């Protein structure tokens, strides 16, 4: 699964197209295996909707979420590919003055109510791709509005201490956990999370690195 076709362009170029498999879903061949590529569109709502539809219609051996992300962690520079092993819906909650209450702190959801674990979505048993072990294992947050101001970045660092952020990851993980499909969220860092500075992004580098790593993962 990917949000945009551009994010998996290099991977798709390395596979053999085998036709449409459904709405937003194309089928490819790679080393004798069927690979379905779902392009969900950007954001949590689109991701949850299209992933749920695809996973309910067909039983897959494994699911991968491939995309780019922003990095809060100085050790994760643009171009680094990571395995997101836990994710959080960072905006799901309520403001209380200058504080933020998570949906669990509001007692609208238990910390460990399935599919959550300690208020997070955790991939305790990733899909069995040996190559995943070579990637940095990181924590993520999923947001509707990417962070781009110093005060909001400082607040989210203090609240959750994430390594990366995306606009789709937690929705993908939620769907896979609900459908009990082995999965992995794999992302390439395209930018540092800072005041919006598009000139500093390395999107092409990130997409190239993601394509190379995705191919290695599938071939493993």
Q: What confidence category does residue 198 fall into, taking pLDDT thresholds of 50, 70 and 90? A: confident
Residue 149: exposure state from Cβ atoms within 10 A (0-12, 13-18, ≥19)? exposed
Phi–psi pair at 38, nearest 5 degrees: -100, 125
In a domain, 32, yes or no: no
Tell me the mean pLDDT in the region 148-153: 94
Tell me the mean pLDDT in the region 53-80: 96
Helix and strand element counts for the chain (H, E): 5, 11
Contacts of 133 (CB under 8 A, 6+ apart): none
**Angstrom distances, CA of residue 126 to CA of 130, 196, 199:** 10, 33, 35
In a domain, 65, yes or no: yes
In a domain, 45, yes or no: no
Asked if 168 and 67 count as a contact pair (C-beta separation under 8 A), the reply is: yes
Tell me the mean pLDDT in the region 3-12: 97
- The three-class DSSP label of residue 159 is helix
In a domain, 126, yes or no: yes
In a domain, 39, yes or no: no
In a domain, 10, yes or no: no
Q: Which of 73-82, 95-104, 108-117, 164-173 has the lowest mean pLDDT?
A: 95-104
In a domain, 145, yes or no: yes
Chain mean pLDDT for the chain: 96
The pLDDT, as a whole number, for residue 174 is: 98
Angle between helices 169-179 and 44-57 (to 10 degrees): 30
The Cα 127–Cα 174 span in angstroms is 15
Look-up of token digits 């709405």: 23
Q: CA neighbours within 13 Å on the CB side: how many for 15?
A: 27
Q: What confidence category does residue 31 fall into, taking pLDDT thresholds of 50, 70 and 90? A: confident
Phi–psi pair at 92, nearest 5 degrees: -85, 100
In a domain, 1, yes or no: no
Q: What confidence category does residue 17 fall into, taking pLDDT thresholds of 50, 70 and 90? A: very high
Cis peptide before 87 (omega within 30 of 0): no
The Cα 19–Cα 192 span in angstroms is 37
Q: What confidence category does residue 98 fall into, taking pLDDT thresholds of 50, 70 and 90? A: confident
Contacts of 96 (CB under 8 A, 6+ apart): none
Look-up of token digits 């036709």: 19
CATH code, 141: 3.40.50.1580
Q: Which domain holds residue 129?
A: 61-219
Look-up of token digits 């779902």: 38
Tell me the mean pLDDT in the region 16-44: 96
The pLDDT, as a whole number, for residue 215 is: 96
- DSSP character at residue 111: T
Asked if 186 and 126 count as a contact pair (C-beta separation under 8 A), the reply is: no
The count of domains in the chain is 1
Who has greater pLDDT, 99 or 64?
Answer: 64
């Amino acid at each position: 699964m990917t949000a945009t076709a551009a994010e998996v362009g290099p991977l798709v170029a390395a596979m053999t197209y085998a036709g449409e498999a459904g709405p937003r879903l194309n089928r490819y061949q790679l080393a004798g295996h069927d690979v379905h590529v779902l392009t969900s569109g950007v954001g949590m709502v689109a991701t949850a909707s299209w992933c749920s539809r695809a996973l309910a219609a067909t039983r897959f051996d494994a699911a991968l979420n491939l995309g780019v992300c922003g990095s809060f962690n100085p050790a994760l520079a643009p171009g680094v590919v990571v395995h997101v092993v836990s994710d959080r819906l960072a905006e799901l909650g309520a403001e209380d003055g200058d504080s933020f209450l998570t949906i669990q702190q509001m007692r609208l959801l238990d910390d460990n109510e399935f599919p959550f674990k300690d208020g997070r979505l955790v991939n305790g048993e990733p899909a069995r791709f040996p190559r995943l072990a070579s990637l940095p294992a990181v924590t993520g947050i999923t947001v509707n509005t990417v962070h781009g101001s110093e005060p909001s970045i400082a607040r989210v660092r203090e609240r959750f201490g994430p390594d990366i952020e995306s606009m789709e990851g937690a929705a993908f993980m939620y769907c896979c956990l609900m459908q009990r499909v082995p999965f992995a969220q794999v992302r390439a860092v395209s930018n540092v999370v800072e005041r919006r500075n598009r000139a500093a992004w390395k999107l092409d580098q990130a997409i190239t690195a993601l394509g190379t790593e995705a191919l290695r993962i599938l071939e493993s």
